[in-house]
Amino acid sequence: MVKIISDIGYCQGVQKAIDKLLNCSKMGKKVYLTHPLLHNLKENEKLMEKSHATFVDKELTIQDGYLVLSAHGHPLEEEDFIQDKSYIVDATCPLILNRYQLLKEEKEDTTYLFVGKENHQETLGFLSHFPFLTFIDSQKDLKTQLDAIPLKKNVFFLPQTTISQKCVNFVRDYLNQKEVNILSFLGICPLYEKRMKDASSYCEHLDQSNSFFIVCGDTLSSNAQELYHAIKEKNPSLQGAISLSIANMDISLLKGKDIYITSATSASKETVEKLFEDCLHLQA
Ligand code: SF4
């Protein structure tokens, strides 16, 4: 049996960014990217081919073209590549832009905490736009980092939209034990959270001896990695993999097993469906 166990395909943020890129390619000017538009190098490559986009040359500034900036946000210096700001096409996800709005006014009596993965495009974007944010690395010991921060009377917390729920819960519990006023405590992306919950609850009781799960996504994708870990957390002995196709998987692990598929938010519906079909053929 092969089964899809959650929503699949691009999330709205990634889909919007792709639409912007493809629209720019119809405008008769060159299209540039500073960074992959989505965290899926294979699909990013296909999109760049389709839109005739190229990565910007660091030695040049763009005078006649569109610079499309990543769906996850961007550090401000990426805007320096162009001379006329009107050519910037900001493809940052609306959910992330809403969070930018909430941070517009810094208050003296407030500590602003951002927890995320170091060097992730979203983290780099937030820290560059709002230098007053105190960064907490989600992949290092959270308590040690939090203990070192002199918290002000008020705390505003926001996480990278695709880190683990466990990490967010840890910070919430930590702050609840402190004598601080939590002004705002934002969660992870609801769409990604739903996908993670659906897939991990489905896998929780699967029989490890005859089941295998696949997160359809790029191994470099933050949300693919988190989806994988969320499932492993619920069912540690269940075997699984992150992959965009069975071509780069050890087929012997799949033979004779029921296969359960979920998808990162940066894998297209077509890619997941192809993976599904290939798994079915494998079992035929
Ligand atoms: S996962 Fe959520 S926050 Fe991230 S790009 Fe998609 S919709 Fe936006």
The atom number, within ligand 1, closest to the CA of 94 reads: 8
Q: Are 18 and 10 in contact (CB under 8 A)?
A: yes
Q: Give residue-wise pLDDT tens across range 157-198.
A: 999 999 999 999 999 999 999 989 999 889 999 999 999 999
Q: Is 73 in the pocket of ligand 1 (CB under 6 A)?
A: no
User: Is residue 4 left, alpha or beta, with left meaning phi > 0 and alpha meaning psi from -120 to 50?
Assistant: beta
Task: From 212, 210, 279, select the one nearest 244 (Cα to Cα).
Answer: 279
Q: Is 70 in the pocket of ligand 1 (CB under 6 A)?
A: no
Q: Is 224 in the pocket of ligand 1 (CB under 6 A)?
A: no
CATH classification number, 12-93, choose in 3.40.50.720, 3.40.50.11270, 2.160.10.10, 3.30.56.10: 3.40.50.11270
Distance from Cα 189 to the centre of ligand 1, integer Å: 6
Confidence of residue 58 (pLDDT cuts 50, 70, 90): low
Please give the pLDDT value at position 34: 86
Q: Are 221 and 214 in contact (CB under 8 A)?
A: no
Higher pLDDT, 262 or 253: 262
Predicted TM-score (pTM) of the model is 0.89
The atom number, within ligand 1, closest to the CA of 191 reads: 2
pLDDT at residue 44 tops 70: yes
Q: Is 201 in the pocket of ligand 1 (CB under 6 A)?
A: no
Q: Is 186 in the pocket of ligand 1 (CB under 6 A)?
A: no
pLDDT at residue 85 tops 60: no
What backbone torsions phi and psi does residue 255 show, to the nearest 5 degrees? -60, 130
CATH level 3 topology of 96-189: Cobalt-precorrin-4 Transmethylase; domain 1 (3.40.1010)
260's CB contacts (< 8 A; 6+ apart) are: 3, 5, 199, 202, 203, 206, 211, 212, 213, 214
Name the closest-CA residue to atom 8, ligand 1: 13
What backbone torsions phi and psi does residue 182 show, to the nearest 5 degrees? -85, 105
pLDDT at residue 283 tops 90: no
CATH classification number, 2-8+191-283, choose in 3.90.1750.10, 3.40.1010.20, 3.40.50.10860, 3.20.20.60: 3.40.1010.20
Distance from Cα 202 to the centre of ligand 1, integer Å: 22
Intervals of CATH 3.40.50.11270 along the chain: 12-93
